Amino acid sequence: MIDILVVTKNKGKLREILDIFGFKNINLKTLKDFPPIEIEESGNSFFENAYIKAKKAVEAFNVISMGEDSGLVVKVLDGKPGIFSRRFAGLNATDLENNVKLLELLKGVPLEQREAYFISSVVVMKPDGSYIKGEGKLEGYIIDEMRGTGGFGYDPIFFIPQYKKTLAELGDEVKNKISHRYRALMEIKRQIKDFLSL
């Protein structure tokens, strides 16, 4: 059994990764299983932040580590909130505060101009510094009301036309088969057997 540390404290994100990344001979651990460390997300891209998370954990604990960074990109807002998605309305902003700020910025913008996508970047790194990466995107639109009780983050305002629902309305079973994180993790899954010699 090979241990992989998933470098996140975000419960929603962790639950998704655990649901999606099922491998019989891989045991996913979390930051709760290790002494506390501080990781500053100082990168300029989702990949850089995922890489920083994995590298810091590898250096601190000498264990194979998975870093993931993701966020929402709104085209009409020049890519905002982007890498600041989690702290868009402030350092300790709640999901609701982030949603409200985004909706304020989009007031008066017609739906067809509210194109957006979620992006997820995942890095799995070994203690020798070698790594594999995966990236996934999910396209949709930002609607002007929150709908649904599932998911987390911007899910209640992220509308997917082919389902005629927000991510928060879809439910975990459907979401975890189409999400940006699912697509990034599938790329990792395709590479990981060779990478870890499983």
Residues taking part in catalysis: 69
Residue 78 in contact with residue 67, Cβ under 8 Å? Answer: no
CA atoms within 13 A on the CB side of 20: 24
Distance CA 163, CA 165 (A): 5
Q: What are phi and psi of 134, to 5 degrees?
A: -145, 150
Residue 33 in contact with residue 8, Cβ under 8 Å? Answer: no
| Cα angle for residues 159, 162, 168 (degrees, 5° grid) | 35
What's the CA dihedral at 11, 69, 82, 166 to 10 degrees? -50
Amino acid at 142: I
